[in-house]
Structures are given as structure tokens and as C-alpha cells.
Amino acid sequence: MSDNLDPLSVAARWVEEGRAVALATVLETWGSAPRPVGSHLVVDADGNFQGSVSGGCVEGDVLAAAEDIIGTGGAKLLDFGVADETAWRAGLSCGGRIRIRVERVG
Amino acid sequence: MELAILERLDALRAQRQPVAHISAIEGGEDRLLCPGEPAEPELASALAEAFRTGKSRVSEDGAHFINVYMPPVRIVVIGAVHISQALAGLAKIAGFDLTIIDPRTAFATPERFGDVNLIAEWPDDALKLHRLDAYTALVVLTHDPKIDDTPLKMALETGCFYIGALGSRKTHAKRVERLMRDGVSGEALATISAPVGLDIGGVTPQEIAVSILAEIIASLRKKPQ
């Protein structure tokens, strides 16, 4: 895979450029899930992002959480699934559940 | 994640070194560990399993996340032939790195291969720099023992996860005889996929390339029978 699109290579490059960066990682999946455990998405303070943690189902919420983390530092765990009460806005159509960690880089 | 850890992780991945990033679930304390380096007893079995399967996971006590980064799969093709031209295009679509090696400069030309990673050298020289490893598939396509046999032996010694060799059953029988005379065991030779590719009845170079790539993916993804 080209380094231009690899999320971890992008993360290091962005931090070195002085951009504030958060990294989202799939920690656990239950049932059918679009991206395997360990998958990354990297996002900067302007909402530019690379990579994926789902098939586009929950990326919107992850980007919002990343914006908070970039401001506050630290890390946050996010759970998504059809059983989740937020499912109407960020659920997985495939019926699985996923846990995602969003953390500040650098 | 600290920048220093991220940079070391990226450097190890660039060297095709398997590595695990171990972190507390909630974030915070984290570090890198390569296979064989000592781990805490409560992490050891989950870590070994993660390296064996290439699958990231939460530790048994639920306190740590183990993210394993295995080297990306690479395909090394010996022979800048018609099948290789098709295989290069397919591998790019499938997301595999691919390198073609052929000492015959009439075959290994940029005109025929465009931006494909092409090395016009003898395989034993080229593979000193572009080392084979367990995450590499080797496909030999020249039919010429002078070119094909040495990389085949190197791949068997290295333990490439897939080794395929073009040629009819008769050609392969002669190849097996030759390599056995060179001291390669019958057991090792039996791991060579020949005739190369899944049996889908492919006829054209493009169809044979599809069958080779499909067989490489099957070797990579399917559990051993």
C-alpha cells in the first residue's frame, strides 16, 4: 500500500508539519463489522482525514469525537452498534457492534 | 500515542519487521514489542496468538489492546513475460506490492511494464537487496532453469508463504528431479504450486494471471486444511 494513504504514515507526517492530530483505532468488533480490529483513521483539527474504522457508517461521529480530543488531549472510547441508543444517527447497518478509541497523537 | 513511538512504529513497518503496539485500553501508557522480546506473563499468550494469526486483539484480562502490524504482502515475480504484465496490473488493484525480476534486458523493459517495479538483474543478485521473507509470495514464470531454479531454492529456504512455478506437469517433474539432485527435499518441493494458479481453466495470459493471484490470496487467507 502506498505510504501516501497509510494512516500511520500520514499521522507522523501531519504531526511533523505542526498539525494537531487524533488517531482512531478499532479495538473490538462483535458480529459482522466492516473493518477489522486494529484499523486506523487519522484526522487533523480541520477535519481532514485518511483511513477508515467502518464502511462510512460511524466516521461522522468519530470525526466529531476527534475534534474534542484534539482540543482536550487524552483518549475516549466510543461504542457503536444497532443496540446502541444512538443507532438512529450512527449505527452499523450490518448489525455488528464496534468499539473505537480516539486519542491525541504527539 | 507519542510521536516518538509512532515514528519508531513507522520505521519498523518500513523495514518489514512484525511489531505489536501495546496500550492500556483507555489510552495512555503504551509501547512497542517485536516477536521474541519479553512480555509480561498476563500478555504473553494473547501476544503470541496475535503474532501467529496477524490479528489484533484485547488482552485476556481486558486491560490492554494489542495491535499487531505484520509486513504487507509482497509478490516477487521471476520473469518479465506476458503473464507478468497482466499480474502486475491485477496485483495493483488487489493492493499487493509487486516486483518483477528478469536478467533478460529484452524482456525487462519499461516500455512493456510502465511504472511497475522492474529489476533487470539475475535473481540471486536482485534478491540480496530485495530479500524474500515469510510475507512474500514467489512466482517463477520464465521456464528457464538458469533463471528460475535459484530463486525457487531461496524461497523454499526462506519459507515464503506461497511459491508457484509455471510449467506443465512434465516440466515440473523435470524441475523436481533437478532440484532433488541439488539436495532439496521432496517434502519441500511438494509445497511448490505447480502447475501454477488455481485450476479455473485459464487460457490467456490474463486468465492465468487471475488464477495465480487467486491462489496467492487463498494461501494468505484460508486456514490450513
Quote the DSSP letter at residue B6.
Answer: H
**Least CB-CB distance to A15: which of B3, B55, B95?**
B3
* Cβ-contact B30, B9 below 8 angstroms: no
* One domain for residues B54 and B164: no
B120: containing domain: 74-221
A13 shares contact with chain B (CB less than 8 Å): no
pTM of the model: 0.74
Q: Which residue of A has its CA nearest to B93?
A: A1
Count of the separate structural domains present in chain B: 2
**Whether the Cβ atoms of residue B66 and residue B58 lie closer than 8 Å to each other:** yes
B6 to A12: CB separation less than 8 angstroms, yes or no: yes
Question: Does residue B59 sit in the same domain as residue B149?
Answer: no
Same domain, B47 and B111: no
Q: What is the pLDDT along chain A (106 residues), one digit of tens a residue?
A: 446 688 999 999 999 999 999 999 999 998 877 789 999 999 999 999 999 998 777 888 999 999 999 999 999 999 988 555 554 455 556 667 899 999 999 8
Residue located via cell numbers 478499532: A26
Do B91 and B159 lie in one domain? The reply is: yes
Tell me, what DSSP letter sits at residue B17? -
Q: How far is CA B187 from the centre of its chain?
A: 20
Whether residue B25 is found in the same domain as residue B92: no
- Could you tell me which of B157, B146, B176 has the C-alpha nearest to residue B78? B146
Here the CATH number for the domain that contains residue B171 is 3.40.50.720
| Alpha carbons B1 and A25: distance in angstroms, whole number | 11
Do residue B43 and residue B123 come from a single domain? no
Same domain, B130 and B144: yes
Question: A105, B6: Cβ pair inside 8 Å?
Answer: yes
Q: What is the mean pLDDT of residues B72-88?
A: 96
Claim to verify: residue B79 and residue B12 sit in the same structural domain: no
Q: Are residues B37 and B95 part of one domain?
A: no
C-alpha span between A103 and B39 (Å, rounded)? 24
What per-residue confidence (pLDDT) applies to B28?
76
Q: What was the ipTM of the complex prediction?
A: 0.84
Whether residues B13 and B56 share a domain: the answer is yes
Q: What is the Cα A46 distance to its own chain's centre?
A: 15
Whether residues B13 and A8 touch (CB distance < 8 A) is answered with yes
Both B106 and B181 in a single domain?
A: yes
Cis peptide before B195 (omega within 30 of 0): yes
Only one residue has cell 508457484, namely: B164
